[in-house]
Amino acid sequence: MANVLRMLGIHKRFGPVKALGGVDFELEAGEIHALLGVNGAGKSTLIKILSGVYTHDEGTIEIDGQPVELGSPRAAILAGVATVQQHPELVPDCTGVENIFLGHEGRKPGLFARIDRTAMRAAAQKLLQRFPIEIDLEARVGEMPAVDREIVAILHALRNENTRILILDEPTSTLTEREKASLFQLMRSLRAAGIAIIYITHRLEEVFEIADRFTVFRGGRNVATLTSQEATERGISIPELLLDEKAGDLFPERDGKADGDVLLEAKGLGRSGLFSGVDFELRRGEILGIFGLVGSGVDELSKTLFGAIRPDEGTMQVKGKAVRFRGPHDALKAGIFLVPGDRRTEGLAMTQDVVFNTTVAHLGRASRLGGLLKFGRNRLDTEALARDVGLQPFELDRPVSAFSGGNQQKIVIAKGLFRDSDIYIFVEPTVGVDIGARAKLYTLIRELSRRAGVIVMSSDCDEVHGLADRVMALYKGRPVETGGWNASRDQLLSAGIMGARAA
């Protein structure tokens, strides 16, 4: 097929740092092309050049065989390039139709300018006829499931009829398997319509499911472009391409059966309409894994254990003492720390720097008598934790909004380590984190469990099964029998996605 995009010899530097060193990248019309690379490999820089956020230092860009200068996001849109960010900025109180045409609503003629809602609805229906997908665009975006919000963001990007290239940045990071199937259905429709898709993902299994080709970035260069079939036939390991080394075992070795004291116990814990009947014990020296898809009640359970949601049934004990938390402040006093799954809204102050976000978790440790901050000490502590989690780039004065999603996740985990608690709850701990950094974070969590009790809650079955000493599953708010604490990966997966009890 003909190339819709050619990027040749692209260089980009940020001061002394070489982000891209002579990258070549080609995209065919009507293909889904996965872009892979660990955090800092250069893929985000390439995409920002293509979307007009950055200008390249050297090289050429051609769209449909014609040289183009993409000096601004507007220039990129006019050239037919549209981008859907990992966290689309939508207006939750507006409908899907209103979000699609936000800023391009059209006006009815007359003395008083009014939005032409009839024309907007008609244009939205034309989009759905062109790219068939089931979605209620009259619903408010804030009430939509995650996949529908992603679809609205894509339709917003496609409202311009000249769009030829669509960039999707980690679109499945918060989707269930069923929601992912709906998104992939839309992507296939776009491909059939001749739209080329650049698909950025850290979920390597999705490459073989949806992508026609994939390109691996490492150290600011394109190191391989292959089809999935070529990779399989030649026995090429994508993780080894990403890391330039043998991938090895992603998960650290387990220490054996934990025999520490019981730190946290739940009996019949529930909250009406969210989850019910949850029983478990957490001991010092172990990782308890809880697997559940989005909507299973896992997130609500984590917030209940942290005091943000009050249970209406069951009991909790911390170190043998019955507790009823009035809020997170009580949970913190009891020695519980939550690393939330939604880092942007619940885990980080996005406009503040790394030092602030790390030390705000424990102001008692971060300040002297009278409330004066220990600026020097706090910076040294943050530097040590940033090294532990592998923060890149190592710029502690940078606002966290300027870091990639994976590095933002590292900062949230550093914040938890600064707190020095007895009980840690990690929700989706490696969302948006590349495979190399993921292994390091798993090792940190394992080391943490040697002095504390750790709960890992995740919609990634492999993560739960590979990391935890004991496992359980939630399905539609109810615990499901997994065949004992030593459940196999398949038993855990079946329990979490179908509610099927182990044989």
Selection from 212, 188, 198 nearest residue 133 by Cα: 188
Would you state the structure tokens that stand for residue 414, as one six-digit string? 């550093």
Rounded Cα distance between 440 and 430, Å, is 10
Please check whether residue 144 lies inside any domain of the structure. Answer: yes
Final residue before a domain boundary, out of 209, 243, 277: 243
Rounded Cα distance between 123 and 447, Å, is 55
- Is the CB of residue 359 less than 8 Å from the CB of residue 401? no
How high is the pLDDT of residue 503? 47
Q: Which residue has the tokens 């449909």?
A: 64
Same domain, yes or no: 232 and 327: no
How high is the pLDDT of residue 501? 63
Would you state the structure tokens that stand for residue 292, as one six-digit string? 């559940």
Q: How many domains does the chain have?
A: 3
Please check whether residue 29 lies inside any domain of the structure. Answer: yes
Please check whether residue 440 lies inside any domain of the structure. Answer: no
Q: What is the CATH number of the domain that holds 89?
A: 3.40.50.300
Same domain, yes or no: 137 and 212: yes
At residue 334, the 3 state secondary structure works out as: coil
Final residue before a domain boundary, out of 220, 243, 266: 243
Same domain, yes or no: 237 and 288: no
Rounded Cα distance between 110 and 105, Å, is 16
Same domain, yes or no: 231 and 257: no
Residue numbers of the domain that contains 13: 3-243
- Peptide bond before 393: cis, by omega within 30 degrees of 0? yes
C-alpha separations of 361 from 307, 365, 420, 468 in Å: 16, 9, 10, 25
Q: How many Cα atoms occupy the beta-carbon half-sphere of 389 within 13 Å?
A: 30
- Give the chain's mean pLDDT: 87
Same domain, yes or no: 228 and 137: yes
Same domain, yes or no: 125 and 270: no
Phi, psi of 10 (to 5 degrees): -80, 125
Please check whether residue 441 lies inside any domain of the structure. Answer: no
How high is the pLDDT of residue 129? 85
Please check whether residue 444 lies inside any domain of the structure. Answer: no
**What whole-number percentage of the chain has pLDDT above 90?**
46
Same domain, yes or no: 180 and 288: no
DSSP 400: G
Rounded Cα distance between 259 and 249, Å, is 26
Please check whether residue 443 lies inside any domain of the structure. Answer: no
Strands 107-108 vs 114-115: parallel, antiparallel or unpaired: antiparallel
Rounded Cα distance between 396 and 400, Å, is 9
> Nearest 5°: CA angle at 117, between 113 and 123?
125
How high is the pLDDT of residue 252? 87
Please check whether residue 381 lies inside any domain of the structure. Answer: yes
Q: Whole-structure pTM over 0.85, yes or no? A: no
At residue 84, the 3 state secondary structure works out as: strand
How high is the pLDDT of residue 233? 86
Where helices occur in 212-342 by DSSP H, the ranges are 228-233, 238-243, 298-305, 328-333
How high is the pLDDT of residue 417? 87
Where helices occur in 25-110 by DSSP H, the ranges are 43-50, 73-78, 96-100
Same domain, yes or no: 274 and 301: yes
Same domain, yes or no: 254 and 283: yes
Selection from 211, 182, 177 nearest residue 494 by Cα: 177
Please check whether residue 174 lies inside any domain of the structure. Answer: yes
How high is the pLDDT of residue 444? 87
Same domain, yes or no: 73 and 181: yes
Give residue-wise pLDDT tens across range 40-60: 688 888 999 999 999 999 999
- Give Cβ neighbours of residue 194 (< 8 Å, ≥ 6 apart): 29, 30, 164
How high is the pLDDT of residue 38? 73
Give residue-wise pLDDT tens across range 90-130: 899 999 999 998 877 666 665 555 677 888 888 888 888 88
Same domain, yes or no: 91 and 204: yes
> Which residues of the chain fall short of a pLDDT of 50?
247, 503
Final residue before a domain boundary, out of 224, 243, 262: 243
